């Protein structure tokens, strides 16, 4: 067995001898390189073919299947560790696992070629199964991983076992082992690696073109609401920004983003429509223009994620514009027995909330606009649901596709079988934004400020406690709407020392948020937000 091509043994330094099968295989460490390069080519060709035939990328398909199956505790960990970079972390994780697997496959292949073939074929098969299983994907989605593996396997064979050695006969003894030629190997792996880089680069380019073309279809502005319904839009008051760090309205660019989508779903505005069906008298199908032509409202709503830890950032406020869901449901005619408003997205995500919530007078809507613009792609263009008072995971379907009136038994929203509560009204909560945790506050006139929320119930009181002192009522910002957060501030004559500051909110039903500490899982975190500061 050749250990190194530069220290040939007499066995493989031959003169015109026939090549033994053993000596034609690459040394093991070259096998690792061969595995890596073949794996990379298989994956990048798969990505490229996926872009060309416009189906899900094999990597994204595997990643999405992973997300769908990941146990809730691991999902929580990932959000804690990586925050909204959790998707990047997943991609890096998948690529690392694949790279290690490819190295192992290559090393094995140097000894048993069959192991390499089976290895790459296995990964191709996983990619194919994942891709065809993705919602909305056809059998064509199996082609990219198939073609990737179909190219990766012969490449691996070629690299491990060059069939045509440079020279079969040589005059005089040679130090170059026959059958195994390091230079040939380097040239082949180099060109294959370059090919993989090129394929990956083009795939990436095509993906950004795809996203660009969806973005180009987003209207620059929406026509003004011609026939407003309901109470007039509450205006954002000039003094609404009590907090120096948190603006009452969150700009679209800084609005938190949470979803399971590894890449944006294909949105074609011209063919997009939303179906309202299920337990209704008359199913409705509405295009983007149909929705825009309907009576609409503009409402300020605070959206928050159930995964938000106490004091967390997964909460934002925007002025959403759209068609009231209740109007549409009344037109469709909700049949008795309908319990759940179950919605699906273009990317196969689902959520569901009680029919009674949709019809109790709150401004649940199919939103088309956000802060005076069309809905950004990140937040669900062309349309999404916004339901004041409920956590996003049970209600706020982005890239909306269908709304089905159904029973609780018939359908479960995406996160429900994954251990999250079926019904999830937003819990009364509050957050300290200034001072920051661990901040050194200058002695003298200081202020403690933040936000409090109890969507659809409204905030009536916010109190602050410094160390073991009494709860002091904070000054509240303008009561813009019960559906949004409320800003608060407490002037504080800060004396030198170390302090623990806590906040608690009371909603308009008179209920004060609970002190009991609970994790986000299964229906929202509780406890008082607490910050430690030093005054000097």
Q: Please report how close the Cβ of residue 126 comes to Mo ion at its closest, in angstroms.
A: 29
The residue among 240 and 397 lying less far from ligand MTE, judged by its C-beta, is 397
Q: Please report how close the Cβ of residue 403 comes to ligand MTE at its closest, in angstroms.
A: 13
Is residue 260 at the binding interface for ligand MTE, with CB under 6 A as the rule?
A: yes
In 3D space, the residue among 531, 532, 536, 367 whose CA is nearest the CA of residue 450 turns out to be 531
Asked if 368 and 387 count as a contact pair (C-beta separation under 8 A), the reply is: no
Choosing from 342, 353, 393, 488, the residue that interacts with Mo ion (CB under 5 A) is 393
Residue 500 has a CB neighbour count (10 Å cut-off) of 12
Is residue 266 at the binding interface for ligand MTE, with CB under 6 A as the rule?
A: no
**What are φ and ψ of residue 74, in 5° steps?**
-75, -35
Asked if 395 and 387 count as a contact pair (C-beta separation under 8 A), the reply is: yes
Q: Residue 299 binds which entry of ligand MTE, Mo ion, none, with Cβ cut-offs from 5 to 8 Å by kind?
A: none
Is residue 379 at the binding interface for ligand MTE, with CB under 6 A as the rule?
A: yes
530, β-bridge pairs: 502
In 3D space, the residue among 366, 403, 363 whose CA is nearest the CA of residue 229 turns out to be 363
The residue among 312 and 392 lying less far from ligand MTE, judged by its C-beta, is 392
Q: Is the dihedral of CA 258, 263, 268, 274 positive or negative?
A: negative
Q: Which stretch binds Mo ion (CB under 5 A): 100-108, 234-242, 393-401, 467-475?
A: 393-401
What whole-number distance in Å separates Cα of residue 149 and Cα of residue 123?
Answer: 8
Q: Of 240-259, which residues contact Mo ion (CB under 5 A)?
A: 258
Choosing from 371, 397, 481, 506, the residue that interacts with ligand MTE (CB under 6 A) is 397
- 281 to 320: interface string for ligand MTE, x by CB under 6 A: ----------------------x-x---------------
* Residues belonging to the chain: 536
Helix count and strand count (H, E) for the chain: 10, 19
Is residue 364 at the binding interface for ligand MTE, with CB under 6 A as the rule?
A: no
In 3D space, the residue among 151, 38, 154 whose CA is nearest the CA of residue 103 turns out to be 38
Q: Of 299-338, which residues contact Mo ion (CB under 5 A)?
A: 305
Q: What SS3 state is found at 278?
A: strand
What whole-number distance in Å separates Cα of residue 357 and Cα of residue 363?
Answer: 10
Is residue 524 at the binding interface for Mo ion, with CB under 5 A as the rule?
A: no
Q: Residue 485 binds which entry of Mo ion, ligand MTE, none, with Cβ cut-offs from 5 to 8 Å by kind?
A: none
Choosing from 60, 347, 363, 482, the residue that interacts with ligand MTE (CB under 6 A) is 347
Q: Residue 280 binds which entry of ligand MTE, Mo ion, none, with Cβ cut-offs from 5 to 8 Å by kind?
A: none
Element containing residue 444 per DSSP (H, E): strand 444-453
The residue among 107 and 396 lying less far from ligand MTE, judged by its C-beta, is 396
Q: Which stretch binds ligand MTE (CB under 6 A): 25-33, 41-49, 170-178, 258-266?
A: 258-266
In 3D space, the residue among 397, 129, 55 whose CA is nearest the CA of residue 47 turns out to be 55
Is residue 368 at the binding interface for ligand MTE, with CB under 6 A as the rule?
A: no
Choosing from 40, 131, 179, 259, the residue that interacts with ligand MTE (CB under 6 A) is 259
Asked if 76 and 420 count as a contact pair (C-beta separation under 8 A), the reply is: no
**What are φ and ψ of residue 73, in 5° steps?**
-65, -35
Asked if 113 and 153 count as a contact pair (C-beta separation under 8 A), the reply is: no
What whole-number distance in Å separates Cα of residue 90 and Cα of residue 74?
Answer: 12
- 264 to 303: interface string for Mo ion, x by CB under 5 A: ----------------------------------------
The residue among 385 and 535 lying less far from Mo ion, judged by its C-beta, is 385
- 347 to 386: interface string for Mo ion, x by CB under 5 A: ----------------------------------------
Q: Residue 123 binds which entry of Mo ion, ligand MTE, none, with Cβ cut-offs from 5 to 8 Å by kind?
A: none
Torsion, CA 392, CA 393, CA 397, CA 402, rounded to 10 = -140
Is residue 393 at the binding interface for ligand MTE, with CB under 6 A as the rule?
A: yes
Is residue 345 at the binding interface for ligand MTE, with CB under 6 A as the rule?
A: yes
Phi-psi region of 265 (alpha: psi -120 to 50; beta: other; left: phi over 0): beta
DSSP string for 308-342: PPTT-S-EEEEEEEEEEHHHHHHHH-BPTT--EEE
Asked if 433 and 245 count as a contact pair (C-beta separation under 8 A), the reply is: yes
What whole-number distance in Å separates Cα of residue 363 and Cα of residue 382?
Answer: 19
Q: Which stretch binds ligand MTE (CB under 6 A): 1-9, 68-76, 259-267, 494-502?
A: 259-267
The residue among 144 and 392 lying less far from ligand MTE, judged by its C-beta, is 392
Residue closest to Mo ion (Cβ): 305
Is residue 382 at the binding interface for ligand MTE, with CB under 6 A as the rule?
A: no
The residue among 56 and 396 lying less far from ligand MTE, judged by its C-beta, is 396
Residues that bind ligand MTE (CB under 6 A): 255-261, 303, 305, 345, 347, 349, 379, 392-393, 396-399
């Amino acid at each position: 067995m050749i250990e190194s091509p530069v220290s040939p043994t007499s066995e493989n330094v031959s003169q015109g001898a026939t090549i033994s099968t053993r000596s034609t295989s690459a040394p093991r460490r070259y096998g690792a390189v061969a595995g890596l390069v073949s794996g990379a080519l298989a994956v990048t060709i798969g990505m490229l073919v996926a872009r060309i035939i416009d189906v899900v990328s094999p990597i994204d398909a595997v990643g999405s299947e992973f997300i769908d199956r990941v146990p809730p505790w691991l999902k929580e960990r990932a959000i804690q560790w990586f925050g909204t970079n959790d998707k990047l972390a997943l991609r890096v994780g998948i690529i690392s696992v694949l790279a290690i697997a490819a190295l192992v496959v290559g090393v094995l292949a140097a000894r048993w070629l069959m192991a390499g073939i089976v290895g790459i074929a296995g990964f191709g098969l996983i990619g194919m199964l994942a891709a065809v299983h993705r919602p909305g994907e056809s059998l064509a989605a199996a082609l990219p991983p198939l073609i990737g593996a179909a190219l990766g396997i012969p490449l691996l064979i070629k690299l491990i076992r060059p069939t045509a050695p440079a020279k079969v006969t040589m005059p005089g003894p040679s130090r170059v082992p026959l059958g195994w030629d390091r230079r040939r190997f380097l040239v082949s792996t180099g060109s294959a690696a370059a090919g993989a880089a090129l394929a990956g680069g083009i795939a990436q380019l095509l993906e950004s073109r795809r996203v660009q073309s969806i973005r180009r279809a987003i209207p620059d502005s929406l026509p003004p609401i011609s026939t407003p319904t309901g109470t007039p839009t509450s205006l954002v008051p000039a003094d609404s920004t009590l907090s120096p760090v948190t603006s009452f309205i969150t700009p679209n660019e800084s609005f938190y983003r949470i979803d399971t989508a590894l890449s944006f779903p294909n949105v074609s505005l011209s063919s997009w429509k939303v179906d309202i069906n299920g337990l209704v008298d008359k199913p409705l199908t509405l295009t983007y223009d149909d929705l825009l032509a309907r009576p609409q409202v503009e409402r300020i709503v605070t959206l928050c994620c159930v995964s938000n830890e106490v004091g967390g950032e997964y909460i934002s406020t925007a002025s959403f514009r759209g068609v009231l869901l209740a109007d549409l449901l009344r037109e469709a005619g909700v049949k008795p027995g309908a319990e759940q408003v179950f919605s699906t997205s273009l990317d196969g995500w689902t959520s569901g909330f009680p029919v009674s919530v949709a019809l109790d007078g709150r401004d649940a809507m199919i939103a088309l606009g956000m802060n005076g613009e069309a809905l950004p792609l990140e937040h669900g263009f062309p349309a999404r649901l916004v339901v004041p008072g409920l956590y996003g995971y049970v209600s706020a379907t982005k890239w909306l596709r269908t709304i089905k009136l159904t029973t609780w038994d018939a359908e479960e929203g995406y996160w429900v079988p994954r251990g999250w509560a079926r019904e999830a009204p937003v819990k009364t909560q509050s957050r300290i934004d200034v001072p920051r945790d661990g901040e050194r506050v200058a002695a003298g006139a200081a202020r403690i400020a933040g936000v409090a929320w109890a969507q659809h119930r409204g905030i009536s009181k916010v109190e602050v406690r410094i160390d073991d002192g009494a709860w002091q009522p904070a000054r509240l910002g303008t009561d813009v709407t019960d559906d949004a957060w409320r800003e608060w501030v407490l002037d504080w004559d800060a004396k030198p020392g170390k302090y623990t500051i806590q906040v608690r909110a009371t909603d308009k039903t008179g209920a004060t948020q609970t002190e009991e500490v609970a994790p986000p899982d299964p229906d929202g975190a509780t406890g008082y937000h607490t910050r430690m500061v030093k005054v000097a």
